[in-house]
């Protein structure tokens, strides 16, 4: 029995979602949209199932999708890439796993920035890496460049960087990106960039991939997700962009993990990546409207809502809202007493966690948002009394 997994707690998403199912609570914890996803992209997948190949596609991904990914990133980010720089994976988490297995050896250090997606630490540990933890703090969640620099040692090989950042909805600015790039170049680090939320940004923000910063093209592994781009989280189609010296070992790890990804979904994603800018603008606009709807109702109920710059999420500062409960206690009581599921931000830390911030998903219908907000408003009065 592997001790890494034998002693690991159940994912907070599974724990909270299981409680939500058991109690019938509105689930604003796990990050998935209410909608079915774009009809034309789903139709393209259905057509490919009926009329295309359902046998093994190439291990690296179909040529059509690899070229479409390269064209998409050239069009939206000015990234100089071709299909040969792309690997298709069965979701972004598989891409992260393959990259860590390929790029680090037992004992190599990997810098992880807290709060972090809960898969990062076990993936690093399973690959034999040693996690070096650096923390961000509310309410501004600025990238701690000085702390990152201080944590680097001669054994540090990789920094895992999530932008836009789940769980706290930060989109790092040009200055933070430039400072991180300079540090990676100066200290000879590989940047493993989880950029699955790259199209879900608000208020006119533009995504700046770290791979496009000076000196980063040859030392960055960029990971994207069709599931997040097209609001189809169950599809699990990811892609990796990297220079040949980095991509080749990642592909070798991928071939022994999932080997390949359903060809019909690859065909549909290739079609979707060619959609006009207006589609992506409309998608962002819809989520921004939902963000603003939930934010306004929570503020009216006396909650202190932190800025949400991207992703499907917004955060509430409980202490600033006049609520003395810790984040986990609040979330557990909210399921039972308010019928609303949320996620405690402390679950995204391994150490030194803030305990007064919770996360809510707003990728829901107006009816669901309004009902959840009404329940949380009543619950706020209850826990303040």
C-alpha–C-alpha distance, residues 361 and 33, integer Å:
9
The answer to whether residues 179 and 61 belong to one domain is yes
pLDDT of residue 2: 64
Hey, what are 169's tokens? 């909805």
- Average pLDDT over the chain reads 96
What pLDDT digit, counting tens, does each position of 129-155 carry?
Answer: 999 999 999 999 999 999 999 999 999
The answer to whether residues 263 and 349 belong to one domain is no
Query: Half-sphere exposure of 118 toward its Cβ, with a 13 Å CA cutoff?
Result: 15
pLDDT category at 65 given cuts 50, 70, 90 is very high
* CA distances from residue 108 to 152, 184, 254 in whole angstroms, order as listed: 11, 16, 20
CA angle 255, 260, 263 (to 5 degrees): 165
The answer to whether residues 146 and 93 belong to one domain is yes
* Omega before residue 212 within 30° of 0, cis: no
Q: Name the domain boundary from 226, 242, 275.
A: 275
The answer to whether residues 309 and 254 belong to one domain is no
Q: pTM for this structure?
A: 0.95
Hey, what are 244's tokens? 């040949």
The answer to whether residues 288 and 226 belong to one domain is no
C-alpha–C-alpha distance, residues 25 and 22, integer Å:
8
User: In sequence order, what are the residues at sequence separation of 6 or more whose Cβ sits closer than 8 angstroms to the Cβ of residue 285?
Assistant: none
Hey, what are 255's tokens? 């071939």
The answer to whether residues 16 and 57 belong to one domain is no
Q: Name the domain boundary from 251, 275, 299.
A: 275
How many domains is the chain partitioned into structurally? 2
The answer to whether residues 257 and 233 belong to one domain is yes
Q: In sequence order, what DSSP letters do the residues of 21-44 get, joined into one string?
A: HHHT-EE-SS---SS---HHHHHH
CA 124 to chain centre: 17
The answer to whether residues 265 and 350 belong to one domain is no
C-alpha–C-alpha distance, residues 214 and 212, integer Å:
7
Strand, helix or coil at 107?
coil
The answer to whether residues 132 and 268 belong to one domain is yes
pLDDT of residue 32: 87
pLDDT of residue 369: 98
The answer to whether residues 146 and 248 belong to one domain is yes
The answer to whether residues 107 and 62 belong to one domain is yes
What pLDDT digit, counting tens, does each position of 201-246 carry?
Answer: 999 999 999 999 999 999 999 999 999 999 999 999 999 999 999 9
What pLDDT digit, counting tens, does each position of 81-139 carry?
Answer: 999 999 999 999 999 999 999 999 999 999 999 999 999 999 999 999 999 999 999 99
Q: Name the domain boundary from 254, 275, 296.
A: 275
Residue listed under structure tokens 């299909």:
83
Query: What CATH number corresponds to the domain at position 77?
Result: 3.40.640.10
CB 316 within 8 A of CB 353: no
Query: What CATH number corresponds to the domain at position 354?
Result: 3.90.1150.10
C-alpha–C-alpha distance, residues 245 and 88, integer Å:
17
Mean pLDDT on 349-357 = 95
Q: Is the pLDDT of residue 7 over 70?
A: no
Range of the domain at 117: 39-275
Q: In sequence order, what DSSP letters do the residues of 200-251 get, joined into one string?
A: -B-TT-----GGGSTT-TTTEEEEEEHHHHTT-TTS--EEEE--HHHHHHHH
The answer to whether residues 79 and 176 belong to one domain is yes
C-alpha–C-alpha distance, residues 143 and 114, integer Å:
10
C-alpha–C-alpha distance, residues 230 and 371, integer Å:
26
pLDDT of residue 268: 98
């Amino acid at each position: 029995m592997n001790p890494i997994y034998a002693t690991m707690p159940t994912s907070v998403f599974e724990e909270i979602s299981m409680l939500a199912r058991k109690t019938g609570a509105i689930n604003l914890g796990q990050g998935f949209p209410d909608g079915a996803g774009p009809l034309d992209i789903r139709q393209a997948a259905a057509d490919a199932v009926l009329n295309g190949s359902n046998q093994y596609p190439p291990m690296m991904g179909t040529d059509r999708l690899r070229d479409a990914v390269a064209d998409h990133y050239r069009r939206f980010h000015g990234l100089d890439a071709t299909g040969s720089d792309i690997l298709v994976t069965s979701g972004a988490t598989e891409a992260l796993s393959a990259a860590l297995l390929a790029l680090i050896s037992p004992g190599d250090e990997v810098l992880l920035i807290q709060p972090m997606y809960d898969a990062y630490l076990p993936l690093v540990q399973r690959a034999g890496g040693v996690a070096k933890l650096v923390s961000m703090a509310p309410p501004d969640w600025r990238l701690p460049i000085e702390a990152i620099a201080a944590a680097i040692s001669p054994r540090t090989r990789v920094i895992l960087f999530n932008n836009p950042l789940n769980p706290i909805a930060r989109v790092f600015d040009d200055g933070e990106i430039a400072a991180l790039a300079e540090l990676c170049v100066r200290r000879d680090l590989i940047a493993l960039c989880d950029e699955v939320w790259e199209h879900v940004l608000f208020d006119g923000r533009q995504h700046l991939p770290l791979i496009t910063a000076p000196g980063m093209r040859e030392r960055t592994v960029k990971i994207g997700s069709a599931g997040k781009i097209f609001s189809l989280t169950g599809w699990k189609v990811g892609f990796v962009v990297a220079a040949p010296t980095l991509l080749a070992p990642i592909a070798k790890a991928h071939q022994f993990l999932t080997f390949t990804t359903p060809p019909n979904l690859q065909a549909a994603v290739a079609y979707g990546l060619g959609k006009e800018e207006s589609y992506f603008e409309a998608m962002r606009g819809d989520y921004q409207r939902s963000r603003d709807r939930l934010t306004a109702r929570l503020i009216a109920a006396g909650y202190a809502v932190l800025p949400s710059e991207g992703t499907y999420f917004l955060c509430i500062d409980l202490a600033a809202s006049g609520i003395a409960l810790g984040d986990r206690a609040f979330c557990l009581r909210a399921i039972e007493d308010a019928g609303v599921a949320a996620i405690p931000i402390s679950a995204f830390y391994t150490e030194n966690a803030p305990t007064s911030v919770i996360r809510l998903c707003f990728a829901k219908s107006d009816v669901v948002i309004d009902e959840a907000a009404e329940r949380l408003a009543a619950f706020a009065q209850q826990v303040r009394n």
